[in-house]
Amino acid sequence: MGHRRRPARPPCRVALMDTATLPDDRVLTITRWFRASPAQVYAAWTDPEALPRWFGPNGYSCEAHAKDLRVGGE
């Protein structure tokens, strides 16, 4: 059985990674690829009206009331 070649990623894709250290010192890293420019991904994360439209799987809902992006923001 041969290996399937993975298609090349389009140039306008952004990866977001989140890493957590578990209590037993194992590390869990989750990566999600977005078919969007970095500016579009930033806007999607920082616009409280945009976030509920895409965050989470189908059927999931959330509310975002405000985003304070300043260092130490609330």
In a domain, 25, yes or no: yes
In a domain, 73, yes or no: no
In a domain, 67, yes or no: no
In a domain, 7, yes or no: no
In a domain, 59, yes or no: no
Q: Which of 37, 36, 18, 38 is nearest to 27 (CA)?
A: 18
Domain of residue 43 covers 14-54
pTM greater than 0.75 = no
Distances (CA, A) of 21 to 7, 44, 50, 60, 72: 32, 26, 29, 26, 22
Domains contained in the chain, number: 1
Q: 8-40: per-residue pLDDT in tens?
A: 555 556 676 778 888 888 888 888 787 888 888
